[in-house]
Amino acid sequence: MEYQEFKQKCIDIFALNNFSAPIDEQLKKLFTLTEHMLEVNKSLNLTAITDLDGVILKHYADSITVSKYIPENAKIIDIGCGAGFPSLPLAIFRPDLSITALDGTAKRIEYVKGTAKLLGLNKLTAIAGRAEEYANKSDFRESFDVATARAVAALPILAELCLPFVKKGGSFVAMKAAQGENEASASTNAIKLCGGAPAVISQLELTANNEDFEKRVIIVSQKLIATPAKYPRHYSQISKKPL
Ligand code: SAM
């Protein structure tokens, strides 16, 4: 992959989606991230998306769609970050943020840690652990301005996993594909029980060519009151009997 080709594709795809033009430093970091991710992906299952347009659109542009829901200098947690989405692109485009990337798979977290170091993203901390366990640790519970997650679980489950991390006045921001709208109506109870305000839903479309469009739904719930201590439950209960 040539840097010039990558750079032009990125600029074009960002422009098609009405994002601000990335600056040189951001483009160089995205290029390094792409080369590194695709290389590590040969031996570690990081992503099924390996074509250049797909990586730029579905990993980078998609990750950045959450940025406008995150206040300046916020402390955020990305639950189930996997190979670092949205954490890594957010850290590249929002150096003001302090980002904790959490995932239950230790190997992916080792990769995210190494990648953050390679890219000089020193405000990104990657932690291997389960959300339902970390949510009960005193330095994590009700401690973040924003808890976000992309492609981790259905919204009623995600609300119970994420809202306990959010401080009062902060927000839970879920990144979803087209099914997000239906999930939002099914999660009213879970969000309320975990201390969140009724969800506000935003829809958008992403495209790499102005012909094919992918629908995305972003669901935001503001934290109104502290999450009762009994949540989150054990994962077996959360998944068998979502709130
Ligand atoms: N957010 C990334 C993305 O959009 O590319 C990864 C999505 S991947 C489909 C889901 C990830 O969530 C997996 O890496 C999995 O280990 C993690 N995960 C699922 N449930 C979790 C939990 N309760 N605590 C921590 N990580 C979890």
Mean pLDDT, the chain cut into blocks of 10 residues (243 residues total): 95 96 97 98 97 97 98 98 98 98 98 98 98 98 98 96 98 95 93 98 96 96 98 96 95
Atom of ligand 1 nearest to the CA of 84: 2
pLDDT of residue 227: 98
Q: Which pLDDT does position 59 carry in this prediction?
A: 98
Query: Which residue type is seen at 65?
Result: T
- Chain length of the chain: 243
pLDDT at 1: 80
| Alpha carbons 193 and 50: distance in angstroms, whole number | 39
3-state DSSP assignment of residue 182: helix
Q: Does the C-beta of 158 come closer than 6 Å to ligand 1?
A: no
DSSP bridge pairs for 98: 75
User: CA distances (Å), 114 to each of 42, 60, 79, in order?
Assistant: 16, 18, 18
Q: Could you tell me if 205 and 213 are in contact, meaning their C-beta atoms sit under 8 angstroms apart?
A: yes
Q: Structure tokens of 135? A: 């949510």
User: How many angstroms separate the alpha carbon of residue 104 from the centre of ligand 1?
Assistant: 7
The residue whose CA has the least distance to atom 3 of ligand 1 is 85
> Counting atoms of ligand 1 from 1, which one is nearest the CA of 63?
4
Cα(136)–Cα(11) distance, rounded to whole angstroms?
42
Phi, psi of 78 (to 5 degrees): -110, 105
For a ligand 1 pocket test, name from 103, 163, 206 the mutation site with the most ligand atoms within 8 angstroms of its C-beta.
103
- E-state strands within the chain: 75-79, 98-103, 124-128, 144-150, 166-176, 200-206, 214-222
CA of 68 to the centre of ligand 1 (A): 22
Residue nearest to ligand 1 atom 10, measured at CA: 152
Task: State how far the Cα of 195 lies from the Cα of 157, in Å rounded to an integer.
Answer: 14
Of residues 149, 171, 179, 151, the one with CA closest to residue 161 = 149
Distance 131 CA to ligand 1 centre (A): 10
